[in-house]
Amino acid sequence: MAKTLTGRFKVETAWPELVNKRIQGINCELKEIQFRNQAESLMAKGAIKRQVRYLDSDGKCRKTEDKLQFEVVVGTALPEPLPFFTAELKSDYFIFQPRRLGESQAMLEQGFVLLINCFEENRQDAVPITILTEVVAGKGKGRRVLSFPLKLQRDSRPKKFNGVVSFNRDRSPVVGGRIAGVVVYRNFHNILKEQEVNFEFSILCEEAPKEGGGELVVNGGVMGVDWLPPTGGQGWLMELKLDYDWKLIIRKELSILRATETSAAPATVIKADSLVKQAFFRFPKIFRVEGLVNGPSEAEPKLKKLVWKRVNSGLLISAVIEFELFIPDPSGMEKYRVFSFEAEELVADFFADFSADASLVLDLSPELTAAKIMFEPPFFLLKTTLGLTVKVYQATLLSLVQENAAAEILALAPAAEKNFSFLSEAFLNLSRPHRKLIKITNQIKGINQRLKDGWLNLSGVSEVSVAYLDRKGLYREELFRLFFQQNFYWKDVNGQEETEIELTPRLEYESVKTQGNQLRYQYLWSFKAALFHKRNVNVAVAALDNAAVSDRSPTVTPRPTPEIIIEGEIPLEFGNPREIASSRALITGFSWREALNAVLVEGRIGGEIEYWDEEGYLRRETVDFPFWRFLEQPLKTSEIEGGLVPRLRRFGYFPLKPWPWKRGAVRYEVEIEFGV
């Protein structure tokens, strides 16, 4: 927290060399300053370097300098140790007397204002942080009685049921589960026998909310068993009395308080997905359909599929957009048609700040604008914009504040850590004799883990890449897949709690020996395993998010990126294009300037285009055309002081039908966005 203190003082100086001179200006510089408490006041003590410019008797401009010391009260005393200060010295006024009566020196009186910014350390015990977690939106208890038929003879007598009940995690308010165990009974000959039973069931959890979404997590057990004897054509029935506890879980964002290092209060440590990055993108899309000449002017798009994939440091977004249209045929009768288009966009360097093995969770919130339909016979164009809010969450360990806890979440609490390792050997057969080994890399491509009482089972596959020079000196590279399965004893593992294992593999050692075309490859993998138990944890909610226990989700109002879309036609020199083979484009010149209530951008776009002409020849031509446009979202001058940076988001060329009196042409569509 910063506050401003002010101190005022004046200095009178006798200056013989300024007698009968005329002062042109005074420059002052604060050279040194110190702060200390004295009694009940905060004192500032320092030194000033002053330069005075004046006119001599011959009209020449000269300067003289001096140094001043000052000590001034700037406020009341502050607690020790003193906070961090920044000081600024300003000249308030000056009064100059070229010569006093009866004296041979001039007098200069100057007033100063000392502005001091005091930065007090904000010793917070907790800071807000946003996580993506499972919030307990409701909980309660319930009881049900279920009946199951038994495959017993009518003269048998059931005695006891030994078994367990398990519940699925289902959408509210219906919950499914399974009853598994054995029924002990006496047969007609009075001999005790057992019969395995395995029943599936579904119950309506009437106590849970019917609306609002979420999933039900149910835990319970068998509290009593009754046996209903055969009646009529019905055999024995087993009647189970179930008591259960239910919790309504909603996965959502939550702003909570995280304990800082200076916090003295006890804190609970959990593993959670915390929000580390948020971005908004707009992807204008144009889809082309051939063979339609008329129809509606607008259409409502539907997003049928939206997935993402990490490509090195970039984010690849794939979507399937569907349009449902009623289009008149040549006879005028409207027919229902569905058009489905695939779209891909690559956001470069989106993951540049994250390591390749970082555990990330992405949440995509799409929004499609109504599509405009434009007719360009024999095509019609569907223009829409896909807006996408992307939130990135990273798994981290957090210390939570327990005081004033107002929300309950399901979280992973650290339980234990342990290191495991195994040494293995494999023989790799190269397809060709090698002269020199260049490099061998070993990477784990997949790993599965299974937990059983006291044991951790790891199975997976690693990929070994061998780069070498063959006898002819040619560079070659071969891949080998090595499978592994290992069992490790771990006393902290038990089957009674819901757990999660986090594994960090590391290749500790590798050795290679050559035996002809065969490589004897030894390697040692080590795994750092962290065990987490799922717990119900009470957390303190940040004041900025009072909706922690409600169903509201935080809204995002991203700032739109300025962009323009340029369309036009370019005549070609050599031929009539039948199909575009490839194209390249770049911005070769760009400038911008402010206009009335807008920003004018202009420049040129150059590049090359390769196309197949009507005679089947592949031709290449250079293209160059200007552009200028007013930005649709005018920016404030303060936002573009550093300049606008243009970037080509999308460009495309489309062949046009040539007119008889001139050669062919192509139609271009270019989308440019501007960074500030």
Pair 433, 476 in one domain: yes
8 A C-beta contact, residue 502 and residue 529: yes
Q: Looking at the predicted structure, is the pLDDT value of residue 120 above 70?
A: no
Mean pLDDT of 79-90: 84
Residue 46 shares a structural domain with residue 103:
yes
pLDDT at 659: 64
Same domain? 381 vs 459? no
Q: Are residues 139 and 211 in the same domain?
A: yes
Mean pLDDT along residues 483-494: 87
Both 352 and 373 in a single domain? yes
In a domain, residue 256? The reply is no
Q: What integer pLDDT is reported at residue 641 of this predicted model?
A: 55
For residue 374, give its domain range.
267-395
Residue 188 pLDDT class (50, 70, 90 cuts): confident
| CA separation for the pair 484, 500 (Å, rounded) | 21
- Please check whether residues 164 and 67 belong to one and the same domain: no
Same domain, 289 and 173: no
**Separation between Cα atoms, residue 157 and residue 171, nearest integer Å:** 39
**173 upstream amide cis, omega within 30 of 0:** yes
Q: Is there a domain that residue 480 lies in? A: yes
- Among 1-10, 381-390, 539-548, the range with the most confident prediction by mean pLDDT is 381-390
Q: Are residues 452 and 524 in the same domain?
A: yes
* Mean pLDDT, the chain, integer: 83
Confidence (pLDDT) at 538: 85
Q: Which of 68, 100, 119 is the last residue of a domain?
A: 119
- Quick: pLDDT tens for 270-306: 888 899 999 998 888 888 877 655 667 778 888 999 9
- Give the pLDDT mean for 578-603: 81
Q: What's the rounded mean pLDDT across residues 551-559?
A: 39
Is position 402 within any domain?
A: no
Exposure of 607 by Cβ count < 10 A (0-12 exposed, 13-18 middle, 19+ buried)?
buried
Residue whose tokens read 């020790």: 80
ω into 554 cis (within 30 of 0): no
Whether 260 is covered by a domain: the verdict is: no
Does 452 map to a domain?
A: yes
Give all strands (DSSP E) within 150-293, no chain letters. Answer: 157-167, 170-171, 174-186, 192-204, 215-228, 237-259, 267-290
The span from the CA of 495 to the CA of 159, in Å, is 29
Residue 259 in any domain: the answer is no
Average pLDDT rounded to a whole number, residues 322-337: 78
What average pLDDT does the segment 41-46 reach? 91
In a domain, 190, yes or no: yes
Query: Whole-angstrom Cα distance, residue 286 to residue 667?
Result: 13
| Tokens 């398990």 belong to residue | 166
Domain contains 555: no
Count of alpha carbons within 13 Å of 489, Cβ hemisphere only? 1
Task: State the residue for tokens 């795994």.
Answer: 527
Q: Which of 251, 283, 316 is the last residue of a domain?
A: 251
161, amino acid identity: F
The string of DSSP letters for 80-98 reads SSP-EEEEEEEEEEEEEES
Q: Is residue 142 domain-shared with residue 241, that is, in the same domain?
A: yes
Residues 391 and 276 in one domain: yes
Structural domain count of the chain: 5
Bridge-based pairing of strands 215-228 and 645-655 is unpaired
Residues 115 and 148 in one domain: no
pLDDT the model gives residue 426: 92
> What pLDDT is recorded for position 552?
35
Q: 534, 553, 587: which is the final residue of a domain?
A: 534
- 230 lies in the same domain as 322: no
Q: What pTM does this model have?
A: 0.58
Smallest CA-to-CA distance from 565 within 373, 320, 350, 282 is with 282
Range 635-639 average pLDDT: 54
**Residue 102 or 674, more confident:** 674
Task: Look at residue 359 and tell me whether its pLDDT is greater than 70.
Answer: yes
Q: What is the pLDDT of residue 554?
A: 38
pLDDT in tens, 253-265: 888 888 876 665 6
